[in-house]
Amino acid sequence: MADYVIAPPAIAALPVRGGGLFPVRRIFCVGRNYAEHAREMGSDPDREPPFYFTKPADSIVINGADMPYPTETKDLHHEMELVVAIGVSGSDIQEADALNHVWGYCAGLDMTRRDIQNAAKKTGRPWDMGKAFDHSAPLGELVPAGSIDPGKGLIELKVNGQVRQTSDLSKMIWAVPEVIANLSRLVKLEPGDLIMTGTPENVAAVQRGDLLEGVIEGVGTVTTRIV
């Protein structure tokens, strides 16, 4: 047994529909993967290849738990996303084989300190503190891939019962197999890796007390309250 000089951290894990836990290794996030969201963020969706940022594994919020409003921001935004869980390792994965590396899917929220992110953009600095903060990834239960088609289906988020974001997975600029293939050329994907695949348009601020309820057709839901 390893002789650690401090206690090793707990393993972050997602509950799986039907029972069990899926250990989370890394969280990769695709930026601006819906055309209308890219436009609302001031980018040209016809010119940009995929790009990525990350969140720590222990940023996940599970089982519908509350999300604490983060420090050092006055502009916390929601971003509703399909999340892909990798179950089979691979490098330089071909698009035709990409879905064979997927263990399952869930609904998730890429919560963003938009003011910190925008300040970093203006100075050309990393986005980490705008994206990779504590409790920044509320996720629903993980559903085994089975017959799920990640290329189509409603993706929607309500805040306090009112629809904020609504779109279809078919509107992704880079489809799930393309994202997996592209990312696997940059890093070797391993079991336990999650990929958050981008958000549709109409991201907006939330406040303490707001209830966020997201749904992805055929996949599941994610719920959290900002406290």
- Please write the tens of the pLDDT for every residue from 10-63: 999 999 999 999 999 999 999 889 876 566 666 666 657 889 999 999 999 999
Q: Which CATH class is domain 13-225?
A: alpha beta
The answer, as to whether pTM is greater than 0.85, is yes
pLDDT at residue 2, rounded to an integer: 79
Mean pLDDT on 136-152: 96
Whole-angstrom distance, CA of residue 139 vs CA of residue 83 = 8
Whole-angstrom distance, CA of residue 47 vs CA of residue 45 = 6
CA 182 to chain centre: 17
Tokens of 161: 């019962």
If we measure between CA atoms, which residue out of 92, 103, 124, 89 comes closest to residue 22?
Answer: 103
Q: What is the secondary structure of 9-62 as a DSSP string?
A: PPPPEEEBTTS-EEE---EEEESS-BHHHHHHTT--TTTPPP-EEEE-GGGEE-
